[in-house]
Amino acid sequence: MGCFFSRRRKPAQGGPQQQAGAGQDAASGEQKAPQYSWDLRAKIDPKDYTFSGLKNETVGRLPGKVAGQQFVIQDCENCKIYIFDHSATITIDDCVNCQIFLGPIKGSVFFRDCKDCKCVVACQQFRTRDCRKLEVFLCCATQPIIESSTGMKFGCFQYYYPELALQFKDAGLSIFNNTWSNIHDFTPVSGENNWGLLPETAVIQDYVPLPSSEELKAVRISTDATKSIIPVTRGRRQKNSDESCLAVFFAGDYTTANARKLIDEMTSKGFQLVQTKEVLMKAEDAHRVFQQSALEFIPLLEKGPVIALEFNGDGAVEQCQSTVNEVFSGTKVFVSESKASASQDVDNFYNFADMQMGM
């Protein structure tokens, strides 16, 4: 085959400048190499996305420095590691006694052969293999999986810095889809329990302290649960009351803000947020979940996903109805109509949501 550039070109039209623009340098008359879009991309150095073989160090990446790339952490000991950005996937191998913060991960995070580590993690998929004594404050969109791992402890992700909300969006993660306590043990041992939940009173800074290096101090962090990007939920901890209430917000300009407002109102009155979900619904789903109220809400489902909240506590239904009427009088919200129907409302919605999300 002949060379691509060996083909004879037609004479260029116009004067010398136009002729030069057709592929020659006007001054030298030399042929220019063509430029392609991939030539203009920034060159990626894998070293910028790897922490390897570190001991007794504090290291990290500031917001904007990872920008959706893959990251590797391996063979680190007694280190404090902070990734304050979103990433594609992260693998953590053979790390011992490390404290790790990982910002939103679009795909999976995989811990292998790690022990005695404390972590704060937000991801689409979470998995461990051959790990021992990991304590993890987790936000995970799908069911977390542990394999050949022991002494695992889990709590709900709670963290804030100004860039974090946009990073969740860039990673394609909803702040309302968090199955942190719904752990699947791929290799259970009869008579033993390889995982459990961290105490409700656990203080995140006692596990993963704020960074001490001057560079990383620039990130304005809060570990106050009330400021957390992710609503802090009870998950599968035992409920304090037999009474729960389901509240569902429909897509609109202020759906997220309204949901957060109701959470603040209810929790400030002593009710507990059990779980949250953000999911698309169809008309047939509405009949299953909203039953006799379905026709009222079906037109709203075309606007986008709904956000559902479960509150628990004696009087939760009455208080939720009262709050919605007072604070959200101009907003369409589904709230359980009675204490008698509330448990069924909760079950109907979350069974549907789990099926939609493949859990």
* pLDDT reading at 28 higher than 90: no
> What is the mean pLDDT of the segment spanning 293-321?
95
Contact 309, 328 (CB under 8 A): no
69 is in an annotated binding site: no
Residue type at position 41: R
Maximum Cα–Cα distance across the chain: 88
Helix, strand, coil % in the chain, rounded to nearest 5: 25, 30, 45
Confidence of residue 2 (pLDDT cuts 50, 70, 90): very low
pLDDT digits (tens, 9 = 90+) for 194-250: 999 999 999 999 999 999 999 999 999 999 999 999 999 999 999 999 999 999 999
* pLDDT reading at 18 higher than 50: no
Rounded distance between C-alpha atoms, residue 359 and residue 352, angstroms: 10
Structural domains in the chain, CATH included, are 47-218 (2.160.20.70), 239-358 (3.30.70.141)
pLDDT digits (tens, 9 = 90+) for 141-199: 999 999 999 999 999 999 999 999 999 999 999 999 999 999 999 999 988 899 999 99
* pLDDT reading at 61 higher than 90: yes
Share of the chain above pLDDT 70, in %: 88
Phi-psi sector, 28: left (phi>0), alpha (psi -120 to 50), beta:
alpha
124 is in an annotated binding site: yes
Alpha helix (H) residue ranges in the chain: 16-21, 164-170, 204-207, 255-268, 283-290, 294-297, 316-327, 339-356
Taking each helix axis from N to C end, the angle separating 255-268 and 316-327, rounded to the nearest 10 degrees, works out to: 130
* pLDDT reading at 23 higher than 60: no
Confidence of residue 357 (pLDDT cuts 50, 70, 90): confident
103 is in an annotated binding site: no
Rounded distance between C-alpha atoms, residue 287 and residue 50, angstroms: 50
Q: Average pLDDT over the chain, rounded to whole?
A: 89
* pLDDT reading at 321 higher than 90: yes
Which DSSP state fits 147?
A: E
Q: Look at the block and give the residue holding tokens 């811990």.
A: 111
Q: What is the pLDDT of residue 16?
A: 45
Give the C-alpha distances (Å, rounded to integers) separating 64 from 85, 154, 219, 260. 6, 28, 12, 27
Token duo for residue 31: 């042929």
With a CB cutoff of 8 Å and minimum separation 6, the contacts of 296 are 290, 332
Could you report how far apart the first and last alpha carbons of the chain are, in Å?
Answer: 55
Confidence of residue 44 (pLDDT cuts 50, 70, 90): confident
Q: What is the pLDDT of residue 54?
A: 98
pLDDT digits (tens, 9 = 90+) for 96-136: 999 999 999 999 999 999 999 999 999 999 999 999 999 99
pTM of the model: 0.86
275 is in an annotated binding site: no
